[in-house]
């Protein structure tokens, strides 16, 4: 009996009332307690809607995460706004903050989101954390007086390990490391030095876990998805995948539905996927509002199964549907419909493969 596991990436667009409340809070128009009540309401509603899609594994939709990348530093007292700028294909940018003093400590651990989500569902809950490589970009190139970069990295590795371990102990079905800067690293530095450095840094965290624990740890990468635009889709996967699969993780959640050269992507995955690793292919394009049919998703998976061993194959969405809290480019109902199509399409592929 063939089974193809299917999992979400994580984020779901926040409902309009929550967007409004977040704006009002930033202008001190409402109290934190009021905002927190709405975070809870949105989390509960999102979980119920995810359950209704039939998804066997769910997330909290990241309703109360400020963004997939910045939750650990939300409220960190030593921050300046002018950090690394990430340019997107449509011309818009996102700028990371930078830290101005140490010692560096996470202000929020992802397990706090997991703990709340688990109150609302009996289904397995997956929890996303940010890659240590992304947070490493917060240290300014000009350095910090009295807080060397080497010490920052020591502190950061400890915090990132805690972030994952708390989720594993807290009962996460699995933990997904969001590593969306992987492909971007190749764009910023075609010599691959930056990507190699990122992978080495992330492996320093993964090395702190046993093989058994690493089976519950995965990595997501994609060309970025914000306001329906990407930052590195022009970099071919074949450049990235040989290095990506060196990460000592059990699962890989890859953007795939929006890729044009699917055959070469599949071949590259097959060449580089290590024994014991599983690849979850994105079967829904999160940047395109058209809702995929279950039939076309099943065909996509069956086609992939001709190249990738079935016991190493799974399905997912290309990315989260709203990695930044203020991104409202995808409607909530579209996100849920796409997730339902993924769940139905994956079941259909299983059925077709089993009846052969």
Q: Nearer to Zn ion by C-beta: 102 or 236?
A: 236
C-alpha to C-alpha distance for 152 and 286, rounded to whole angstroms: 35
> Cβ-closest residue to Zn ion?
319
Q: Nearer to Zn ion by C-beta: 254 or 300?
A: 254
Which phi and psi (to 5°) does residue 7 adopt? Answer: -140, 150
Q: Nearer to Zn ion by C-beta: 180 or 312?
A: 180
Could you say which residues in the range 283-322 bind Zn ion, by CB under 5 A? Answer: 319
Q: Which of 199, 222, 235, 297 binds Zn ion (CB under 5 A)?
A: 222
Q: Can you tell me whether residue 117 is helix, strand or coil?
A: helix
Q: Nearer to Zn ion by C-beta: 21 or 182?
A: 182
Minimum CB separation of residue 254 from Zn ion in Å reads 9
Could you say which residues in the range 19-78 bind Zn ion, by CB under 5 A? Answer: none
Q: What are the start-end ranges of the E strands in 75-204?
A: 79-80, 85-87, 93-95, 98-99, 126-130, 174-178
Task: Output the DSSP codes for 230-248.
Answer: -SSTTS-HHHHHHHHTTS-
Q: Nearer to Zn ion by C-beta: 8 or 170?
A: 8
- Only one of the segments 81-89, 150-158, 177-185, 327-335 lies at the binding site for Zn ion (rule: CB under 5 A); that segment is 177-185
Minimum CB separation of residue 328 from Zn ion in Å reads 17
Cis peptide upstream of residue 103 (ω within 30 degrees of 0): yes
Query: Is 254 an interacting residue with respect to Zn ion (CB under 5 A)?
Result: no
Q: Nearer to Zn ion by C-beta: 172 or 222?
A: 222
Helices 149-169 and 111-120, packing angle to 10 deg:
20
Task: Output the DSSP codes for 12-50.
Answer: -PPPHHHHHHHHHHHTTSS-HHHHHHHHHHHHHHHHHHH
**Which parts of this chain interact with Zn ion (CB under 5 A)?**
180, 222, 319
């Amino acid at each position: 009996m063939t089974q193809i596991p299917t999992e979400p990436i994580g984020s779901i667009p926040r409902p309009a009332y929550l967007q409004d409340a977040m704006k009002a809070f930033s202008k001190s128009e409402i109290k934190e307690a009021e905002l927190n009540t709405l975070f809870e309401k949105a989390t509960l509603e999102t979980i119920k809607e995810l359950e209704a899609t039939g998804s066997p594994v769910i997330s909290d939709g990241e309703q109360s995460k400020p963004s997939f990348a910045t939750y650990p530093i939300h409220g960190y007292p030593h921050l300046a706004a002018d950090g690394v700028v990430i340019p997107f294909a449509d011309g818009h940018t996102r700028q990371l903050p930078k830290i101005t003093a140490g010692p560096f400590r996470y202000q929020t651990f992802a397990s706090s989101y997991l703990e709340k989500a688990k109150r609302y569902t009996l289904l397995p809950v997956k929890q996303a954390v940010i890659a240590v490589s992304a947070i490493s970009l917060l240290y300014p190139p000009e350095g910090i007086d009295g807080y060397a970069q080497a010490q920052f990295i020591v502190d950061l590795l400890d915090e990132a390990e805690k972030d994952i371990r708390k989720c594993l102990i807290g009962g996460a079905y699995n933990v997904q490391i969001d590593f969306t800067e992987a492909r971007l690293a190749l764009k910023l530095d075609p010599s691959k030095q930056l990507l190699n450095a990122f992978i080495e840094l992330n492996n320093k965290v993964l090395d702190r876990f046993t093989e058994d624990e690493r089976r519950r740890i995965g990595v997501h990468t994609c060309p970025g998805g914000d306001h329906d635009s990407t930052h590195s889709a022009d970099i071919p996967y074949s450049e990235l995948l040989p290095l990506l699969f060196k990460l000592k993780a059990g699962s890989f959640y890859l953007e795939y539905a929006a890729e044009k050269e699917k055959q070469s992507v599949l071949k590259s995955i097959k060449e580089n996927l290590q024994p014991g690793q599983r690849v979850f292919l994105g079967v829904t394009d999160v940047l395109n509002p058209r809702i995929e049919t279950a039939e076309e998703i099943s065909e996509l998976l069956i086609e992939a199964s001709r190249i990738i061993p079935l016991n190493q194959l799974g399905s997912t969405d290309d990315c989260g549907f709203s990695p930044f809290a203020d991104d409202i480019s995808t409607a909530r109902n579209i996100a849920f419909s796409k997730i339902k199509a993924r769940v139905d399409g994956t079941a259909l592929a299983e059925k077709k493969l089993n009846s052969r």
